[in-house]
Structure 1
Amino acid sequence: MAEKTVTLTREEGVGIIKLNRPHVYNAFNNQMSLELQEQLKEAGSDPQIRALILTGEGKAFCSGQDLNDRSAMKQRGETISLGESVRSRYNPIVMAIANLDKPIIAAVNGVAAGAGCSLALACDMRFITPKTRFVEAFARIGLVPDSGSSYFLPRLVGLGRALEIAMTGRDVEADEAMKIGLANRMVPAEDLLEETFSFARKLAQGPTVAVSLTKKAILKGMEGTLEEALEFEAQAQEVAGRTQDFLEGVQAFTEKRKPRFQGK
Protein backbone atom coordinates (compact mmCIF):
# COMPACT_ATOMS: atom_id res chain seq x y z
CA MET A 1 0.00 0.00 0.00
CA ALA A 2 1.36 3.41 -0.99
CA GLU A 3 2.41 5.73 1.83
CA LYS A 4 0.00 8.55 2.57
CA THR A 5 0.99 11.77 0.86
CA VAL A 6 -1.32 13.88 3.05
CA THR A 7 -1.90 13.38 6.77
CA LEU A 8 -4.54 14.79 9.13
CA THR A 9 -4.03 14.99 12.89
CA ARG A 10 -6.20 16.56 15.57
CA GLU A 11 -5.28 18.37 18.77
CA GLU A 12 -7.30 20.66 21.02
CA GLY A 13 -9.90 21.47 18.38
CA VAL A 14 -7.29 22.12 15.69
CA GLY A 15 -6.80 19.95 12.63
CA ILE A 16 -3.32 19.85 11.09
CA ILE A 17 -3.17 18.82 7.44
CA LYS A 18 0.37 18.09 6.32
CA LEU A 19 1.60 17.52 2.77
CA ASN A 20 3.92 14.52 2.95
CA ARG A 21 6.19 14.19 -0.09
CA PRO A 22 9.28 15.86 1.39
CA HIS A 23 11.70 14.13 -1.01
CA VAL A 24 10.23 16.27 -3.84
CA TYR A 25 9.47 19.33 -1.71
CA ASN A 26 5.84 18.24 -1.43
CA ALA A 27 5.20 18.56 -5.16
CA PHE A 28 1.76 17.48 -6.31
CA ASN A 29 1.17 14.18 -8.04
CA ASN A 30 -2.24 12.62 -8.68
CA GLN A 31 -2.25 10.77 -5.38
CA MET A 32 -1.47 13.86 -3.30
CA SER A 33 -4.07 16.04 -5.01
CA LEU A 34 -6.78 13.40 -4.42
CA GLU A 35 -5.73 12.77 -0.83
CA LEU A 36 -5.72 16.50 -0.06
CA GLN A 37 -9.28 16.74 -1.39
CA GLU A 38 -10.26 13.85 0.89
CA GLN A 39 -8.57 15.25 3.99
CA LEU A 40 -10.10 18.70 3.50
CA LYS A 41 -13.52 17.07 3.20
CA GLU A 42 -12.94 15.00 6.33
CA ALA A 43 -11.69 17.99 8.32
CA GLY A 44 -14.57 20.14 7.14
CA SER A 45 -17.17 17.60 8.29
CA ASP A 46 -15.56 16.81 11.66
CA PRO A 47 -17.35 18.82 14.38
CA GLN A 48 -14.37 18.35 16.70
CA ILE A 49 -12.16 20.36 14.33
CA ARG A 50 -12.89 24.07 14.68
CA ALA A 51 -9.78 25.49 13.00
CA LEU A 52 -7.27 24.12 10.48
CA ILE A 53 -3.57 24.42 9.73
CA LEU A 54 -2.14 23.47 6.33
CA THR A 55 1.61 22.90 6.15
CA GLY A 56 4.31 20.79 4.53
CA GLU A 57 6.64 18.09 5.79
CA GLY A 58 10.36 18.81 5.59
CA LYS A 59 11.97 21.90 4.08
CA ALA A 60 9.15 23.07 1.78
CA PHE A 61 5.47 23.95 1.90
CA CYS A 62 4.70 22.82 -1.65
CA SER A 63 6.75 23.21 -4.83
CA GLY A 64 3.76 22.90 -7.16
CA GLN A 65 3.12 20.25 -9.77
CA ASP A 66 5.59 17.38 -9.89
CA LEU A 67 6.95 17.82 -13.41
CA ASN A 68 8.79 14.51 -13.21
CA ASP A 69 5.43 12.84 -12.68
CA ARG A 70 4.14 14.55 -15.83
CA SER A 71 7.22 13.44 -17.79
CA ALA A 72 6.68 9.85 -16.70
CA MET A 73 3.07 10.01 -17.86
CA LYS A 74 4.17 11.24 -21.29
CA GLN A 75 6.74 8.45 -21.55
CA ARG A 76 3.97 5.95 -20.85
CA GLY A 77 2.04 7.47 -23.74
CA GLU A 78 -0.68 8.95 -21.54
CA THR A 79 -2.46 12.01 -22.90
CA ILE A 80 -2.28 15.03 -20.61
CA SER A 81 -4.86 17.80 -20.72
CA LEU A 82 -3.64 20.59 -18.48
CA GLY A 83 -7.06 22.23 -18.46
CA GLU A 84 -8.78 19.04 -17.30
CA SER A 85 -6.02 18.46 -14.75
CA VAL A 86 -6.63 21.89 -13.25
CA ARG A 87 -10.41 21.35 -13.23
CA SER A 88 -10.35 17.89 -11.66
CA ARG A 89 -7.32 18.04 -9.36
CA TYR A 90 -6.67 21.61 -8.23
CA ASN A 91 -9.94 23.50 -8.52
CA PRO A 92 -11.78 21.20 -6.07
CA ILE A 93 -9.01 21.80 -3.51
CA VAL A 94 -9.23 25.57 -3.83
CA MET A 95 -13.02 25.54 -3.64
CA ALA A 96 -12.92 23.27 -0.59
CA ILE A 97 -10.62 25.73 1.19
CA ALA A 98 -12.68 28.76 0.20
CA ASN A 99 -15.94 27.10 1.27
CA LEU A 100 -14.67 25.76 4.60
CA ASP A 101 -16.87 26.81 7.50
CA LYS A 102 -13.71 26.96 9.58
CA PRO A 103 -10.66 29.22 9.52
CA ILE A 104 -7.61 27.74 7.79
CA ILE A 105 -4.07 29.02 8.20
CA ALA A 106 -1.16 28.11 5.93
CA ALA A 107 2.03 27.53 7.90
CA VAL A 108 4.37 28.15 4.97
CA ASN A 109 7.53 26.45 6.12
CA GLY A 110 9.60 26.97 2.98
CA VAL A 111 9.06 27.48 -0.72
CA ALA A 112 5.47 27.78 -1.98
CA ALA A 113 5.70 27.65 -5.77
CA GLY A 114 3.26 27.30 -8.64
CA ALA A 115 0.15 25.49 -7.46
CA GLY A 116 1.76 25.42 -4.01
CA CYS A 117 1.78 29.20 -3.99
CA SER A 118 -1.88 29.20 -5.06
CA LEU A 119 -2.66 26.76 -2.27
CA ALA A 120 -1.16 29.09 0.34
CA LEU A 121 -2.97 32.13 -1.11
CA ALA A 122 -6.32 30.33 -0.92
CA CYS A 123 -6.00 29.95 2.85
CA ASP A 124 -7.42 32.60 5.14
CA MET A 125 -4.01 33.58 6.52
CA ARG A 126 -0.35 32.79 5.97
CA PHE A 127 2.25 32.42 8.73
CA ILE A 128 5.80 32.30 7.38
CA THR A 129 9.47 32.04 8.36
CA PRO A 130 12.45 34.09 7.16
CA LYS A 131 13.18 31.24 4.73
CA THR A 132 9.74 31.26 3.11
CA ARG A 133 9.50 32.13 -0.59
CA PHE A 134 6.39 32.60 -2.70
CA VAL A 135 6.90 31.90 -6.39
CA GLU A 136 4.27 32.25 -9.09
CA ALA A 137 6.45 29.94 -11.15
CA PHE A 138 4.03 29.38 -14.03
CA ALA A 139 5.68 31.95 -16.34
CA ARG A 140 9.02 30.18 -15.94
CA ILE A 141 7.72 27.22 -17.93
CA GLY A 142 5.39 29.06 -20.29
CA LEU A 143 2.16 28.62 -18.36
CA VAL A 144 -0.38 30.94 -16.73
CA PRO A 145 -1.31 31.15 -13.04
CA ASP A 146 -3.92 28.61 -12.02
CA SER A 147 -5.44 27.05 -8.90
CA GLY A 148 -6.85 30.42 -7.85
CA SER A 149 -3.75 32.60 -8.08
CA SER A 150 -5.36 34.97 -10.58
CA TYR A 151 -8.17 35.47 -8.05
CA PHE A 152 -6.36 35.66 -4.71
CA LEU A 153 -3.08 37.36 -5.63
CA PRO A 154 -4.49 40.74 -6.77
CA ARG A 155 -6.85 40.79 -3.82
CA LEU A 156 -3.93 40.41 -1.45
CA VAL A 157 -1.30 42.65 -3.03
CA GLY A 158 -3.14 44.86 -5.56
CA LEU A 159 -3.49 44.67 -9.33
CA GLY A 160 -0.21 46.20 -10.51
CA ARG A 161 1.98 44.25 -8.13
CA ALA A 162 0.10 41.03 -8.86
CA LEU A 163 0.67 41.45 -12.59
CA GLU A 164 4.38 42.08 -12.07
CA ILE A 165 4.83 39.06 -9.78
CA ALA A 166 2.83 36.72 -12.04
CA MET A 167 4.33 37.87 -15.34
CA THR A 168 7.93 37.59 -14.15
CA GLY A 169 7.56 34.49 -12.01
CA ARG A 170 10.16 35.95 -9.65
CA ASP A 171 10.70 34.92 -6.05
CA VAL A 172 8.92 36.93 -3.36
CA GLU A 173 11.10 36.60 -0.29
CA ALA A 174 9.74 36.61 3.25
CA ASP A 175 10.44 40.26 4.08
CA GLU A 176 8.71 41.45 0.92
CA ALA A 177 5.80 39.08 1.51
CA MET A 178 5.21 40.72 4.88
CA LYS A 179 5.57 44.22 3.44
CA ILE A 180 3.07 43.77 0.60
CA GLY A 181 0.46 41.85 2.58
CA LEU A 182 1.10 38.40 1.15
CA ALA A 183 1.78 37.05 4.65
CA ASN A 184 0.24 37.83 8.03
CA ARG A 185 2.99 36.92 10.47
CA MET A 186 6.67 35.92 10.34
CA VAL A 187 8.23 33.82 13.08
CA PRO A 188 11.51 31.89 13.46
CA ALA A 189 11.47 28.66 11.47
CA GLU A 190 11.75 26.49 14.57
CA ASP A 191 8.67 28.17 16.07
CA LEU A 192 6.41 28.17 13.01
CA LEU A 193 4.15 25.24 13.79
CA GLU A 194 3.96 26.07 17.50
CA GLU A 195 3.07 29.72 16.84
CA THR A 196 0.55 28.80 14.14
CA PHE A 197 -1.01 26.19 16.39
CA SER A 198 -1.29 28.65 19.28
CA PHE A 199 -3.12 31.12 17.01
CA ALA A 200 -5.35 28.42 15.48
CA ARG A 201 -6.25 27.12 18.95
CA LYS A 202 -7.46 30.60 19.94
CA LEU A 203 -9.67 30.65 16.85
CA ALA A 204 -10.91 27.15 17.66
CA GLN A 205 -11.90 28.34 21.14
CA GLY A 206 -13.84 31.26 19.68
CA PRO A 207 -17.41 31.62 18.38
CA THR A 208 -16.76 29.54 15.29
CA VAL A 209 -20.21 30.04 13.75
CA ALA A 210 -19.59 33.79 13.82
CA VAL A 211 -16.04 33.29 12.52
CA SER A 212 -17.37 31.26 9.58
CA LEU A 213 -19.98 33.90 8.79
CA THR A 214 -17.30 36.60 9.03
CA LYS A 215 -15.22 34.77 6.44
CA LYS A 216 -18.19 34.55 4.09
CA ALA A 217 -19.16 38.18 4.64
CA ILE A 218 -15.70 39.51 3.84
CA LEU A 219 -15.36 37.36 0.72
CA LYS A 220 -18.79 38.44 -0.48
CA GLY A 221 -18.05 42.05 0.42
CA MET A 222 -15.11 42.06 -1.99
CA GLU A 223 -17.29 40.91 -4.85
CA GLY A 224 -20.62 42.69 -4.61
CA THR A 225 -22.05 46.14 -4.12
CA LEU A 226 -22.30 47.97 -0.82
CA GLU A 227 -26.02 47.26 -0.78
CA GLU A 228 -25.40 43.53 -1.23
CA ALA A 229 -22.75 43.56 1.50
CA LEU A 230 -25.08 45.31 3.93
CA GLU A 231 -27.85 42.81 3.24
CA PHE A 232 -25.55 39.82 3.73
CA GLU A 233 -24.31 41.32 7.00
CA ALA A 234 -27.90 41.59 8.18
CA GLN A 235 -28.63 37.97 7.22
CA ALA A 236 -25.43 36.73 8.86
CA GLN A 237 -26.14 38.71 12.01
CA GLU A 238 -29.56 37.11 12.23
CA VAL A 239 -27.93 33.67 12.19
CA ALA A 240 -25.18 34.62 14.65
CA GLY A 241 -27.69 36.21 16.99
CA ARG A 242 -29.48 32.90 17.40
CA THR A 243 -26.41 30.93 18.46
CA GLN A 244 -25.62 29.71 21.94
CA ASP A 245 -22.27 31.46 21.60
CA PHE A 246 -23.97 34.86 21.32
CA LEU A 247 -25.93 34.21 24.50
CA GLU A 248 -22.74 33.05 26.22
CA GLY A 249 -20.86 36.10 24.98
CA VAL A 250 -23.44 38.50 26.36
CA GLN A 251 -23.66 36.63 29.65
CA ALA A 252 -19.88 36.56 30.01
CA PHE A 253 -19.77 40.30 29.35
CA THR A 254 -22.33 41.05 32.05
CA GLU A 255 -20.57 38.72 34.48
CA LYS A 256 -17.16 40.23 33.61
CA ARG A 257 -15.57 36.88 32.75
CA LYS A 258 -14.03 35.23 29.73
CA PRO A 259 -16.65 33.58 27.49
CA ARG A 260 -16.65 29.82 27.00
CA PHE A 261 -17.71 29.39 23.39
CA GLN A 262 -18.86 26.01 22.10
CA GLY A 263 -19.15 26.74 18.40
CA LYS A 264 -22.94 26.31 18.52
Structure 2
Amino acid sequence: MTKLADLSPQHFDWQVTDRIATIRLIRPERKNPLTFESYAELRDTFRALVYADDVDVVIFGSNGGNFCSGGDVHEIIGPLVGMQMKELLAFTRMTGDLVKAMIGCGKPIIAAVDGVCVGAGAIIAMASDLRLATPSAKCGFLFTRVGLAGCDMGACAMLPRIIGQGRAAELLYTGRSMSAEEGLNWGFWNALHDPDALEDAARALAQRLADGPTFAHSITKTQLNQEWNMGLEQAIEAEAQAQAICMQTADFERAYRAFVAKDKPNFEGN
Protein backbone atom coordinates (compact mmCIF):
# COMPACT_ATOMS: atom_id res chain seq x y z
CA MET A 1 0.00 0.00 0.00
CA THR A 2 0.96 3.65 -0.47
CA LYS A 3 1.43 6.37 2.14
CA LEU A 4 0.17 9.75 0.95
CA ALA A 5 0.08 11.80 4.16
CA ASP A 6 3.47 13.32 3.32
CA LEU A 7 2.65 14.06 -0.31
CA SER A 8 4.00 17.46 -1.42
CA PRO A 9 2.23 18.46 -4.64
CA GLN A 10 3.43 21.49 -6.56
CA HIS A 11 0.11 22.73 -7.94
CA PHE A 12 -2.37 22.42 -5.07
CA ASP A 13 -2.35 22.37 -1.30
CA TRP A 14 -2.56 18.94 0.36
CA GLN A 15 -3.07 18.32 4.07
CA VAL A 16 -3.83 15.04 5.83
CA THR A 17 -5.13 15.00 9.41
CA ASP A 18 -6.75 12.03 11.13
CA ARG A 19 -6.89 10.11 7.83
CA ILE A 20 -8.78 12.93 6.11
CA ALA A 21 -7.06 14.59 3.15
CA THR A 22 -7.94 18.17 2.21
CA ILE A 23 -7.17 19.54 -1.26
CA ARG A 24 -7.25 23.22 -2.14
CA LEU A 25 -6.24 24.87 -5.39
CA ILE A 26 -3.64 27.53 -4.70
CA ARG A 27 -4.24 30.63 -6.80
CA PRO A 28 -6.97 32.45 -4.84
CA GLU A 29 -6.11 35.80 -6.44
CA ARG A 30 -7.46 34.35 -9.72
CA LYS A 31 -10.24 32.30 -8.14
CA ASN A 32 -8.20 29.09 -8.30
CA PRO A 33 -8.02 28.22 -12.00
CA LEU A 34 -6.68 24.92 -13.28
CA THR A 35 -3.60 24.54 -15.49
CA PHE A 36 -2.28 21.66 -17.56
CA GLU A 37 0.02 20.82 -14.67
CA SER A 38 -2.60 20.94 -11.92
CA TYR A 39 -4.98 18.77 -13.97
CA ALA A 40 -2.26 16.14 -14.36
CA GLU A 41 -1.15 16.29 -10.73
CA LEU A 42 -4.71 15.99 -9.45
CA ARG A 43 -5.33 13.04 -11.77
CA ASP A 44 -2.20 11.27 -10.57
CA THR A 45 -3.02 11.95 -6.91
CA PHE A 46 -6.52 10.50 -7.17
CA ARG A 47 -5.11 7.50 -9.02
CA ALA A 48 -2.65 6.95 -6.17
CA LEU A 49 -5.39 7.27 -3.54
CA VAL A 50 -6.85 3.90 -4.49
CA TYR A 51 -3.70 2.33 -3.03
CA ALA A 52 -3.33 4.66 -0.03
CA ASP A 53 -3.90 3.09 3.37
CA ASP A 54 -3.44 6.31 5.36
CA VAL A 55 -6.33 8.30 3.80
CA ASP A 56 -9.99 7.34 4.20
CA VAL A 57 -11.85 10.48 3.07
CA VAL A 58 -11.02 13.45 0.83
CA ILE A 59 -12.31 17.02 1.16
CA PHE A 60 -11.93 19.18 -1.94
CA GLY A 61 -12.14 22.62 -0.40
CA SER A 62 -12.30 26.25 -1.41
CA ASN A 63 -9.56 28.86 -1.06
CA GLY A 64 -9.94 32.59 -0.61
CA GLY A 65 -13.72 32.51 -0.90
CA ASN A 66 -13.85 30.57 -4.18
CA PHE A 67 -13.72 26.95 -5.27
CA CYS A 68 -12.41 26.92 -8.85
CA SER A 69 -12.84 29.16 -11.90
CA GLY A 70 -12.16 26.35 -14.38
CA GLY A 71 -9.37 26.20 -16.92
CA ASP A 72 -7.02 29.17 -16.86
CA VAL A 73 -7.83 31.44 -19.80
CA HIS A 74 -4.21 32.32 -20.51
CA GLU A 75 -2.49 29.05 -19.57
CA ILE A 76 -5.03 26.58 -21.01
CA ILE A 77 -7.59 28.15 -23.33
CA GLY A 78 -5.09 30.32 -25.17
CA PRO A 79 -2.70 27.45 -25.98
CA LEU A 80 -5.60 25.15 -26.95
CA VAL A 81 -6.61 27.53 -29.75
CA GLY A 82 -3.29 26.84 -31.46
CA MET A 83 -3.23 23.05 -31.06
CA GLN A 84 -3.92 20.35 -33.62
CA MET A 85 -6.55 17.64 -33.13
CA LYS A 86 -4.15 15.03 -31.73
CA GLU A 87 -2.95 17.43 -29.02
CA LEU A 88 -6.49 18.57 -28.26
CA LEU A 89 -7.70 15.01 -27.84
CA ALA A 90 -4.78 14.23 -25.52
CA PHE A 91 -5.84 17.20 -23.37
CA THR A 92 -9.56 16.35 -23.28
CA ARG A 93 -8.75 12.75 -22.44
CA MET A 94 -6.52 13.94 -19.59
CA THR A 95 -9.31 16.07 -18.13
CA GLY A 96 -11.71 13.14 -18.37
CA ASP A 97 -9.10 10.96 -16.68
CA LEU A 98 -9.31 13.26 -13.64
CA VAL A 99 -13.01 12.45 -13.30
CA LYS A 100 -12.32 8.74 -13.82
CA ALA A 101 -9.64 8.89 -11.13
CA MET A 102 -12.01 10.61 -8.70
CA ILE A 103 -14.67 7.99 -9.33
CA GLY A 104 -12.20 5.14 -9.03
CA CYS A 105 -10.14 6.33 -6.04
CA GLY A 106 -12.07 4.21 -3.55
CA LYS A 107 -12.48 7.07 -1.06
CA PRO A 108 -15.56 9.25 -0.46
CA ILE A 109 -14.93 12.78 -1.76
CA ILE A 110 -16.67 15.79 -0.21
CA ALA A 111 -16.70 19.05 -2.18
CA ALA A 112 -16.87 22.13 0.08
CA VAL A 113 -17.80 24.92 -2.32
CA ASP A 114 -17.75 28.64 -1.68
CA GLY A 115 -18.08 31.34 -4.30
CA VAL A 116 -17.14 30.61 -7.91
CA CYS A 117 -17.45 26.99 -9.03
CA VAL A 118 -17.52 26.98 -12.82
CA GLY A 119 -16.32 25.05 -15.84
CA ALA A 120 -13.99 22.26 -14.76
CA GLY A 121 -14.53 23.42 -11.17
CA ALA A 122 -18.21 22.55 -11.51
CA ILE A 123 -17.19 19.17 -12.93
CA ILE A 124 -14.96 18.48 -9.90
CA ALA A 125 -17.89 19.27 -7.60
CA MET A 126 -20.18 17.08 -9.72
CA ALA A 127 -17.70 14.18 -9.63
CA SER A 128 -17.49 14.33 -5.82
CA ASP A 129 -19.66 11.99 -3.78
CA LEU A 130 -21.11 14.63 -1.48
CA ARG A 131 -21.38 18.38 -2.03
CA LEU A 132 -21.69 21.16 0.52
CA ALA A 133 -21.90 24.82 -0.42
CA THR A 134 -22.43 28.33 0.88
CA PRO A 135 -25.43 30.49 -0.07
CA SER A 136 -23.11 32.55 -2.29
CA ALA A 137 -21.85 29.56 -4.27
CA LYS A 138 -22.40 29.92 -8.01
CA CYS A 139 -22.00 26.73 -10.02
CA GLY A 140 -21.92 26.95 -13.79
CA PHE A 141 -21.19 24.47 -16.58
CA LEU A 142 -20.25 27.32 -18.87
CA PHE A 143 -18.66 25.45 -21.76
CA THR A 144 -21.09 26.81 -24.36
CA ARG A 145 -20.08 30.32 -23.35
CA VAL A 146 -16.61 29.65 -24.76
CA GLY A 147 -17.96 28.01 -27.92
CA LEU A 148 -17.77 24.40 -26.73
CA ALA A 149 -20.37 21.68 -26.20
CA GLY A 150 -21.84 21.05 -22.78
CA CYS A 151 -20.64 17.43 -22.92
CA ASP A 152 -17.39 17.96 -21.03
CA MET A 153 -15.68 15.49 -18.68
CA GLY A 154 -18.80 13.35 -18.29
CA ALA A 155 -21.29 16.15 -17.64
CA CYS A 156 -23.97 14.78 -19.98
CA ALA A 157 -23.84 11.41 -18.23
CA MET A 158 -23.50 12.50 -14.61
CA LEU A 159 -25.37 15.77 -14.20
CA PRO A 160 -28.78 14.42 -15.36
CA ARG A 161 -28.48 11.61 -12.82
CA ILE A 162 -28.00 14.15 -10.05
CA ILE A 163 -30.51 16.89 -10.92
CA GLY A 164 -32.65 15.41 -13.71
CA GLN A 165 -32.51 15.53 -17.50
CA GLY A 166 -34.43 18.77 -18.07
CA ARG A 167 -32.54 20.79 -15.48
CA ALA A 168 -29.21 19.44 -16.66
CA ALA A 169 -30.08 20.21 -20.27
CA GLU A 170 -30.89 23.82 -19.39
CA LEU A 171 -27.61 24.34 -17.56
CA LEU A 172 -25.53 22.61 -20.23
CA TYR A 173 -27.17 24.44 -23.16
CA THR A 174 -27.24 27.91 -21.62
CA GLY A 175 -24.09 27.84 -19.51
CA ARG A 176 -25.86 29.89 -16.84
CA SER A 177 -24.94 29.62 -13.19
CA MET A 178 -27.07 27.54 -10.87
CA SER A 179 -27.80 29.44 -7.68
CA ALA A 180 -27.09 27.79 -4.36
CA GLU A 181 -30.79 27.62 -3.56
CA GLU A 182 -31.54 25.97 -6.91
CA GLY A 183 -28.73 23.51 -6.36
CA LEU A 184 -30.05 22.60 -2.92
CA ASN A 185 -33.62 22.19 -4.15
CA TRP A 186 -32.48 20.12 -7.14
CA GLY A 187 -30.32 17.79 -5.07
CA PHE A 188 -26.94 18.96 -6.37
CA TRP A 189 -25.93 20.32 -2.96
CA ASN A 190 -26.46 18.08 0.04
CA ALA A 191 -26.60 21.10 2.35
CA LEU A 192 -25.85 24.82 2.51
CA HIS A 193 -23.73 26.37 5.26
CA ASP A 194 -22.61 29.89 6.07
CA PRO A 195 -19.07 30.61 4.83
CA ASP A 196 -17.59 30.58 8.33
CA ALA A 197 -19.20 27.19 9.01
CA LEU A 198 -18.51 25.44 5.68
CA GLU A 199 -15.14 23.92 6.50
CA ASP A 200 -16.27 22.74 9.93
CA ALA A 201 -19.34 21.11 8.37
CA ALA A 202 -17.22 19.38 5.72
CA ARG A 203 -14.77 18.25 8.34
CA ALA A 204 -17.54 16.90 10.59
CA LEU A 205 -19.04 14.96 7.69
CA ALA A 206 -15.63 13.64 6.68
CA GLN A 207 -14.88 12.58 10.25
CA ARG A 208 -18.18 10.74 10.44
CA LEU A 209 -17.23 8.79 7.32
CA ALA A 210 -13.65 8.22 8.50
CA ASP A 211 -14.97 6.85 11.80
CA GLY A 212 -17.23 4.41 9.97
CA PRO A 213 -16.53 1.11 8.21
CA THR A 214 -14.20 2.58 5.60
CA PHE A 215 -13.69 -0.64 3.64
CA ALA A 216 -17.47 -0.88 3.33
CA HIS A 217 -17.58 2.77 2.23
CA SER A 218 -15.22 1.92 -0.63
CA ILE A 219 -17.60 -0.87 -1.67
CA THR A 220 -20.54 1.56 -1.53
CA LYS A 221 -18.68 3.99 -3.79
CA THR A 222 -17.85 1.22 -6.22
CA GLN A 223 -21.45 0.03 -6.40
CA LEU A 224 -22.92 3.51 -6.74
CA ASN A 225 -20.81 4.02 -9.85
CA GLN A 226 -20.82 0.55 -11.40
CA GLU A 227 -24.57 0.08 -11.10
CA TRP A 228 -25.20 2.93 -13.55
CA ASN A 229 -24.58 0.40 -16.30
CA MET A 230 -26.40 -2.58 -14.80
CA GLY A 231 -29.89 -3.90 -15.13
CA LEU A 232 -31.84 -4.43 -11.92
CA GLU A 233 -31.12 -8.17 -11.71
CA GLN A 234 -27.39 -7.55 -12.29
CA ALA A 235 -27.38 -4.84 -9.63
CA ILE A 236 -29.08 -7.03 -7.05
CA GLU A 237 -26.59 -9.84 -7.69
CA ALA A 238 -23.63 -7.43 -7.56
CA GLU A 239 -24.86 -6.09 -4.22
CA ALA A 240 -25.31 -9.62 -2.89
CA GLN A 241 -21.67 -10.34 -3.69
CA ALA A 242 -20.55 -7.00 -2.28
CA GLN A 243 -22.36 -7.56 1.01
CA ALA A 244 -20.99 -11.08 1.30
CA ILE A 245 -17.49 -9.60 1.03
CA CYS A 246 -18.29 -6.99 3.70
CA MET A 247 -19.69 -9.70 5.98
CA GLN A 248 -16.21 -11.23 6.08
CA THR A 249 -14.69 -8.06 7.56
CA ALA A 250 -13.80 -7.60 11.20
CA ASP A 251 -15.85 -4.38 11.19
CA PHE A 252 -19.01 -6.45 10.65
CA GLU A 253 -18.17 -8.57 13.68
CA ARG A 254 -17.22 -5.47 15.69
CA ALA A 255 -20.64 -3.95 14.95
CA TYR A 256 -22.40 -7.13 16.04
CA ARG A 257 -20.46 -7.44 19.29
CA ALA A 258 -21.00 -3.75 20.08
CA PHE A 259 -24.73 -4.12 19.47
CA VAL A 260 -24.93 -7.11 21.82
CA ALA A 261 -23.00 -5.17 24.44
CA LYS A 262 -25.22 -2.12 23.91
CA ASP A 263 -22.10 -0.16 22.97
CA LYS A 264 -20.91 1.90 20.00
CA PRO A 265 -18.69 0.03 17.52
CA ASN A 266 -15.15 1.21 16.92
CA PHE A 267 -14.60 0.53 13.25
CA GLU A 268 -11.07 -0.01 11.96
CA GLY A 269 -11.65 -0.30 8.23
CA ASN A 270 -10.92 -4.01 7.93
Does the pair score TM above 0.5? yes
Deviation of 1:15 after TM superposition, in Å, equals: 0.8
Residue type of the alignment partner of 2:168:
A
Partner of 1:138: 143
Deviation readout 1:104-153 (Å, 9 max, x if unpaired): 11111221111111111000010000111110100111101311211211
Partner of 2:64: 58
Deviation readout 1:220-254 (Å, 9 max, x if unpaired): 33321110011101110111011110010111111
1:102 aligns with 2:93: no
Structure 2 portions without partners, runs of 5+: 1-8
Deviation readout 1:71-107 (Å, 9 max, x if unpaired): 65379x665743321102x112101110121111111
Distance 2:235 2:83 in 1: 47
Judge conservation of contact 1:15–1:43 (CA < 8 Å) in 2.
Answer: no
Residue type of the alignment partner of 1:58:
G
Distance 1:196 1:24 in 2: 24
Distance 2:109 2:184 in 1: 18
Partner of 1:248: 254
Q: TM-score, normalised by structure 1?
A: 0.93
Deviation of 1:5 after TM superposition, in Å, equals: 2.0
Distance 2:205 2:43 in 1: 24
Q: TM-score, normalised by structure 2?
A: 0.91
Deviation readout 1:169-191 (Å, 9 max, x if unpaired): 11101011000111101100111
User: What are the within-5 Å matches in structure 2 for residues 223-238 of structure 1?
Assistant: 223-238=229-244
Distance 2:80 2:90 in 1: 16
Distance 2:128 2:77 in 1: 30
Judge conservation of contact 2:99–2:127 (CA < 8 Å) in 1.
Answer: yes
The size of the alignment, in residue pairs, is 260
Distance 1:31 1:237 in 2: 39
* 2:127 aligned to which of 118, 122, 126: 122
Residue type of the alignment partner of 1:143:
L
Distance 1:96 1:219 in 2: 12
Partner of 1:203: 209
Distance 1:69 1:113 in 2: 17
Structure 1, 30-39 or 170-179: larger mean CA deviation:
30-39
Are residues 70 and 51 of structure 1, via their aligned partners in 2, closer, same or farther at CA, if it must alter by over 3 Å?
A: closer
Q: Percent identity?
A: 34
Judge conservation of contact 1:40–1:97 (CA < 8 Å) in 2.
Answer: yes
